[in-house]
Amino acid sequence: MAPKKVFGIVLAGGEGKRLMPLTADRAKPAVPFAGNYRLVDFALSNLINSGLLQIVVLTQYKSHSLDRHVSQTWRLSSLTNSYIASVPAQQRLGKRWFAGSADAILQSLNLLRDEKPDIVVVVGADHVYRMDFSQMIEAHLESGAGVTVAAIRQPIALANQFGVIEVDEGDATRITAFREKPQDPVGLADSPHEVLASMGNYVFNADTLVDAVLRDGERPDSNHDMGGDIVPDFVSRGDAAVYDLIRNDVPGATDRDRYYWRDVGTIESFFDAHQDLISALPVFNLYNREWPIYNEQLNSPPAKFVRDASGNLGTTIDSIVSLGSLLSGAHIERSVLGPWATIESGARVVDSILFDRVHIGPGATVRRAILDKEVVVEPGATVGVDPAADQARGFTVTDTGITVVGKGVHVD
């Protein structure tokens, strides 16, 4: 079989309302994650590691920081016609923005006409996982289907949180139904307590993708969504296959994190995903050198841990500390600190996530909280200790008691 030309599309126009206030000033895929990363880095790293060298990132909502991150971090060689390009909504089909993920591709068909790929890989920009898409592409070509949908096994009790894929009893790769958050899910034949949940990643034959979004664009009743409209259309015509992530073998993966996948669409899932990183044997391992997650290379000094004026060194337990950070006689536990964090004498940071350049003053306490960039917690102040008091101060507090402080706020 002749080599196929493959083109990658990252859908990165999401508004991310459920992550407010972290998305008040940035697109969801640009939200910092795990200290040095942005959420979009996981999708892009997976595509690059899989051998894709022509990739576009379709952006829309408050895209400045995302566009800047892509341009500064993801530079490939123009000598080999390899590139990752941020493409904002261009209003090519009239004075309107993207009406959905399928409409984003419809309005960007000029990109496919320019490159003329055989295969198009379409992925979301806000999931945390590792995946070798070259193996999924091979499975797609073998299936003969117009689209292949990536799926991960989830407990049947959680089926009402996902788009659930049902398969043919005689052919476990052929999709017979695609159901959004079903209340009466059907378990898998080989694992009745599990279902196949869509990961929001797709491999299309380029011509069938073009045909599908063109037809969808003419439907007034469509929401113009990839998972809600395009995939069900392929399923109804018997032209959709599923790729079970259990078939994917990522180099360097461990049994503990081999099939890890997180949709970090809420504050709770965002917080939990960070907790998955910090144990000695993490549920998701950032230190896999055979399948690296790439990020912006910061011109920053190493993190520094020093004694305070009284000689107290402090303690740092089960935590990630990013470049440029300075910890002086403080206690840090089960937390993730972004670049250039400063934690002063006697401060306590527990079960928390700090973004870039957060400053925690002497004797302050931060517990079960997320602090956006350049937040300053004044000496002796508290965040997350009293959720009711946090709400009274105008901070976001989730039902599970996570306090979120927006960018640049001074807490006293």
Annotated binding residues for alpha-D-glucose 1-phosphate, written as ranges, equal 163, 180-181, 198
CA separation for the pair 186, 8 (Å, rounded): 32
Phi, psi of 268 (to 5 degrees): -65, -45
Phi, psi of 203 (to 5 degrees): -120, 125
189 is written with which tokens? 């034949």
Q: Which residue has the tokens 């996982």?
A: 129
Positive or negative, the Cα torsion across 185, 188, 192, 195? negative
Tell how strand 382-383 and strand 365-367 pair up: parallel
CA separation for the pair 334, 274 (Å, rounded): 9
- Contacts of residues 322-328 at CB distance under 8 Å and 24 or more positions apart, as own/partner, are 322/35, 322/36, 323/36, 323/298, 324/298, 324/300, 327/303
Phi, psi of 270 (to 5 degrees): -65, -45
Amino acid letter, residue 369? A
Distances from the Cα of 334 to the Cα of 66, 163, 285, angstroms: 28, 32, 15
DSSP string, 190-247: TBTTEEEEEEEEEEEEHHHHHHHHHHHHT-TT----IIIIIHHHHHHTT-EEEEEGGG
Distances from the Cα of 79 to the Cα of 14, 296, 333, angstroms: 32, 22, 47
Binding-site sequence positions: 163, 180-181, 198
Residues 215 and 152: beta-carbon distance below 8 Å: no
